[in-house]
Structure formats: C-alpha cells, structure tokens
Amino acid sequence: MIDFELTDEQRLVRETAAEFVDREVIPVARDNDRNERFDEGLVRKLAEMGFLGAIVPEEYGGRGIDYRTYCLIVEEIGRGDSSIRTVVSVQTSLVCTPILRWGDEDQKRRWLPQLCSGEILGCFGLTEPDTGSDAANLRTRATRIDGGWRINGRKQWISNGTRAKVALIFAQTDPELKHRGIAAFLVPTDTPGFSASAVHGKLGLRASDTAELSLDGVEVGDEALLGEVGDGFKIAMSALDSGRLSVASGCVGICQGCLDASVSYSKERIQFDRPIASFQLVQEMIADMTLDTEAARMLCWRAAWLKDMSRPSTTETSIAKLYATEAAVRCANLAIQVHGGSGYVDDYPVERYLRDARVTTLYEGTSQIQKLIIGRAATGVNAMT
Ligand SMILES: Cc1cc2nc3c(=O)[nH]c(=O)nc-3n(C[C@H](O)[C@H](O)[C@H](O)COP(=O)(O)OP(=O)(O)OC[C@H]3O[C@@H](n4cnc5c(N)ncnc54)[C@H](O)[C@@H]3O)c2cc1C
C-alpha cells in the first residue's frame, strides 16, 4: 500500500530543494518575469543540484531517484517559479524519459549525460500550428532518403525551443497510416534547415523560452530515429505520461505558495482593528486553498507511487494533472483575493502565480483532453476518435 510517510532520504531531498528555491529561485523570480529573462545561470545551478534528469539512472548521468522524490523536487521548484520549473519538466520528463525508454544504447550514451549535466538543453516538438489536441494528426513530414530522413514542417509553442541543442521531433512518415505512421527523431538543432524563433507576449511563464520551430529540408541519419518507425505516437504519449505528473507537481507548488503567502499576509494585514486572518470569510478562502493543496499533492503521490511500482498510471496521472492544474488556478485566484489590491501587483508573488498557473490547464493536454482520458477509462468508450 502507498505509504504517506516520506523516507529520510526523501525528506532530505525535499529540504535541500526547498532551501535551494528559497535562496536561488524566489529572489530572482520577479525580475526574470518582468524582463522575460530566461535565466541561464539559474539553469546551471539547477543542473549542479542534480535537478535536471534526476529520474535517469546514475550510469547515464542522472541521480536514479524515484518518481515520488521527483515530485517533491518539482513541487518545490514550482513553488518558486513555474518558468524554471518548465525547464526541469521538459528536460527530464519530455526529453530524457523517452530517450531512456525508447533509445538504443548509443542514443542513451550520446544524449543523456549531457542533458542531465545541463551541458545542453532539449525540447519536445509535438504541437504544430494546425495540430494541438489532435496530436495524431501531424503535418510535419519525414521522408526516407539514402541513409536517413528528410524532415519538413513547423512546430508551435515549443518550450526551451531557442535554447535546445537537441529537439525531439515528431513527424508523419505515411499519412495513410495516421498515428501508426508517426516517427520520433532526435534532431541536433544545428542541422542545416532547422531554425527557431522566440514567441513573445505571453500571459505568464514569461521567463520561459517558448518558440516556433521550422524544419526546412532537415536531413538526419538513421541514428536519429528514436524507436521504430510508427512508434512516434506511443513515444509522445509515454513522455506526456511523465510530463503531466511533473506539471501537476509543479502546480502543487503553486498551490502551496499561494497558501503560504495568504496565511502570512492575512496575519499581518489589519482591517477593522483586527488581522484579516480573524475573519471567517478570509479563513474560508484559506481553508479552500488548504483542501486543494492537500488533495492535489495526494493525487500526485498516488500517480508517482504507481509509476514507481511500474503499474499502469495513465488515468491516475490525468486525474492528478486535471485536479492540480485547475487547483493552482483556483488557489492563485483566491490568494489574490486574500491580498486585496496588493495581490494585483508583483510586490507579492500571487499575481504571477495566477498568470503562470493559467497555461498548465492548456499544455501537455488541456483539461478537456484529461477529462476525455478519464472518461475513456470510466466508460471504455473513446470520445477522441
Ligand atoms: C507556453 C506554452 C508552452 C508549450 N510547450 C510545448 C512544448 O514544449 N511542446 C509541445 O509539443 N507543445 C507545447 N505547447 C503546446 C500545448 O501542448 C498545446 O497548446 C495544447 O496541447 C493545446 O493545443 P492547441 O493550443 O492547439 O489547442 P486546441 O487543440 O486547438 O484546443 C482549443 C480548445 O478546444 C478544446 N478541444 C480540442 N479538442 C477537443 C475535444 N476532442 N473535445 C473537447 N474539447 C476539445 C481544447 O480543450 C481547447 O479548449 C505549449 C503551449 C504553451 C502555451
């Protein structure tokens, strides 16, 4: 059975991550957000802490930690800043995990140590201008050439896109085969024909790098193919299975951050000659945040526990992702309410929490898509095809 007690090692990792976030992440979060600054120095520090690719086994440069411990780390980073948390989630769950699971020995040895050490960043290129939720319907084409593949297409909203040295690109090899024709390629981003341009004007995640990728006759050798031709869709879904738990855990961090900020502010702020914490309607908001934080964390831990047991966890991961992301939006909204007018400016972290939380109900599968996954498991009927 699932054990709610953390091991000594897990407690130590959580404390270390929390101290790191308090010392290195929180003090720069507002400035990075205001200036849309992708903080390379902070990414290096994350790597030094071993927070990139931490679930990768040590023989490939990771720390070999379990999913529960990964959740603890990601929660703490999410409490500090979702932009930097996105770097951790993409690098670890969306890039390292599929290489680990589907890569051959050469691919693992070539890419994983560099990704885990932070020497290079990776990105995950699934979404396209005309293909979002319906991920099986990719327009990017890969065609066979002598000794490899030529790839043409565009990818949209790709996190780490302008910084990545390797892009995991999903492309259709035979449109007749639909999702069974999709292949995944590890494309070095300095390959001729590959270009990336940054997307600006985002509501939140402003310190995160989001890009549009163009692949214009990009040629790669056979060694770039991850898994077999036709495995691409399964590779994408298995990566998202890890990524969704990472996003959900980051959102538990947002919920906890909202709660901490609201408790502290409500005890200091005096109105009607009393701290606002003494008003029942304020306590109601704090109780609602507490409930959401605890429930979201437990759902994440359950999904992590299933993964650590190598048991099926897709539905439970979608439940955790749906609940935690929507909870983060609710908590951030309530936290602004507790802060009154002060919550509307960035002297406090709560308005950033709201802006950053908002994307989490969209990326790695919208809330509607999570509901369809949960509904499919409950009814046995697939509403997506
Ligand atoms: C900041 C940011 C970072 C991102 N990072 C990455 C990344 O690193 N890699 C990557 O590949 N992608 C990334 N994405 C893309 C993200 O995963 C997509 O935006 C998401 O999957 C939704 O696709 P879409 O935007 O095309 O919306 P659409 O699929 O067009 O959806 C629009 C609306 O229709 C609803 N909808 C669609 N289909 C159904 C259905 N069958 N039933 C009910 N409702 C439905 C959706 O829920 C949504 O409400 C990122 C996006 C953002 C904003």
State the Cα–Cα distance between residues 50 and 73, nearest whole angstrom: 10
Quote the pLDDT of residue 1. Answer: 72
- Is residue 2 domain-resident? no
Q: Which of 163, 193, 228 is the last residue of a domain?
A: 228
Ligand 1 touching residue 384 (CB < 6 A): yes
Percent residues over pLDDT 70 in the chain: 100
**Catalytic one among 76, 128, 351, 364?**
364
Cα of 361 to ligand 1 centre, how many Å?
A: 9
Q: Identify residue 62 by its one-letter amino acid code.
A: G
Ligand 1 touching residue 210 (CB < 6 A): yes
State the Cα–Cα distance between residues 155 and 39, nearest whole angstrom: 23
Quote the pLDDT of residue 276. Answer: 98
Cα of 19 to ligand 1 centre, how many Å?
A: 34
State the Cα–Cα distance between residues 304 and 102, nearest whole angstrom: 20
Cα of 127 to ligand 1 centre, how many Å?
A: 8
What's the average model confidence in pLDDT over 161-181? 97
Q: Does 128 qualify as catalytic in the annotation?
A: no
At 2, the pLDDT band (50, 70, 90 cuts) reads confident
- Is residue 384 domain-resident? no
Q: What Å distances lie between residue 56 and 13, 64, 151, 316, CA to CA?
A: 16, 5, 29, 22
The token pair at 173 is 């090899």
- Is residue 1 domain-resident? no
Q: Report how many domains make up the chain.
A: 3
Quote the pLDDT of residue 291. Answer: 98
The CATH number given to whatever domain includes residue 357 is: 1.20.140.10
Ligand 1 touching residue 363 (CB < 6 A): yes
At 88, the pLDDT band (50, 70, 90 cuts) reads very high
For residues 97 and 134, membership in a common domain is answered with: no
At 79, the pLDDT band (50, 70, 90 cuts) reads very high
For residues 187 and 255, membership in a common domain is answered with: no
pLDDT at 8 over 90: yes
The CATH number given to whatever domain includes residue 187 is: 2.40.110.10
pLDDT at 56 over 80: yes
What's the average model confidence in pLDDT over 230-241? 98
Ligand 1 touching residue 323 (CB < 6 A): no
For residues 365 and 278, membership in a common domain is answered with: yes
What value does the CA radius of gyration of the chain take, rounded to a whole number of Å?
21
- Is residue 385 domain-resident? no
For residues 180 and 286, membership in a common domain is answered with: no
Ligand 1 touching residue 205 (CB < 6 A): yes
Quote the pLDDT of residue 345. Answer: 97
Q: Please state the atom number of ligand 1 nearest to the C-alpha of residue 202.
A: 1
For residues 238 and 375, membership in a common domain is answered with: yes
pLDDT at 3 over 90: no
What's the average model confidence in pLDDT over 284-289? 98
The token pair at 246 is 């990472």
Q: Identify residue 66 by its one-letter amino acid code.
A: D
Residues 267-286 have pLDDT tens digits of: 999 999 999 999 999 999 99
For residues 134 and 256, membership in a common domain is answered with: no
User: Atom 20 (ligand 1): residue with closest C-alpha?
Assistant: 363
User: Atom 50 (ligand 1): residue with closest C-alpha?
Assistant: 157
SS (H, E, C) the chain: CCCCCCCHHHHHHHHHHHHHHHHHHHHHHHHHHHCCCCCHHHHHHHHHCCCCCCCCCHHHCCCCCCHHHHHHHHHHHHHHCHHHHHHHHHHHHHHHHHHHHHCCHHHHHHHHHHHHHCCCCEEEECCECCECCCCCCCCCEEEEECCEEEEEEEEEEEECCCCCCEEEEEEECCHHHHHHHEEEEEEECCCCCEEEEECCCCCCCCCCCEEEEEEEEEEEEHHHEECCCCCHHHHHHHHHHHHHHHHHHHHHHHHHHHHHHHHHHHHHCEECCEEHHHCHHHHHHHHHHHHHHHHHHHHHHHHHHHHHCCCCCHHHHHHHHHHHHHHHHHHHHHHHHHHHHHHHCCCCCHHHHHHHHHHHHCCCCCHHHHHHHHHHHHHCCCCCC
For residues 211 and 262, membership in a common domain is answered with: no
What's the average model confidence in pLDDT over 16-40? 98
Contact 315, 322 (CB under 8 A): no
User: Atom 31 (ligand 1): residue with closest C-alpha?
Assistant: 133
Residues 112-131 have pLDDT tens digits of: 999 999 999 999 999 999 99
For the chain, how many residues are written? 385
State the Cα–Cα distance between residues 38 and 219, nearest whole angstrom: 29
Q: Please state the atom number of ligand 1 nearest to the C-alpha of residue 359.
A: 53
Residues 303-339 have pLDDT tens digits of: 999 999 999 999 999 999 999 999 999 999 999 999 9
**What is the domain range of residue 299?**
234-379
Ligand 1 touching residue 375 (CB < 6 A): no
Q: Which of 120, 142, 166 is the last residue of a domain?
A: 120
For residues 351 and 265, membership in a common domain is answered with: yes
Q: Which of 120, 137, 171 is the last residue of a domain?
A: 120
For residues 174 and 278, membership in a common domain is answered with: no
Residues 210-233 have pLDDT tens digits of: 999 999 999 999 999 999 999 999
Q: Angle formed by the axes of helices 314-339 and 367-379, to 10°? A: 140
Looking at every residue in the chain, the average pLDDT score rounds to: 98
Q: Please state the atom number of ligand 1 nearest to the C-alpha of residue 155.
A: 11
- Is residue 178 domain-resident? yes
- Comparing CA positions, the residue from 131, 143, 306, 126 lying closest to residue 232 is 126
Q: Please state the atom number of ligand 1 nearest to the C-alpha of residue 368.
A: 47
Residues 353-372 have pLDDT tens digits of: 999 999 999 999 999 999 99
Ligand 1 touching residue 126 (CB < 6 A): yes
Contact 58, 50 (CB under 8 A): no
Ligand 1 touching residue 368 (CB < 6 A): yes
How many other CB atoms are found less than 10 A from the CB of residue 355? 18
For residues 362 and 303, membership in a common domain is answered with: yes
- Comparing CA positions, the residue from 29, 82, 323 lying closest to residue 204 is 82
For residues 67 and 138, membership in a common domain is answered with: no
pLDDT at 160 over 90: yes
What's the average model confidence in pLDDT over 233-243? 98
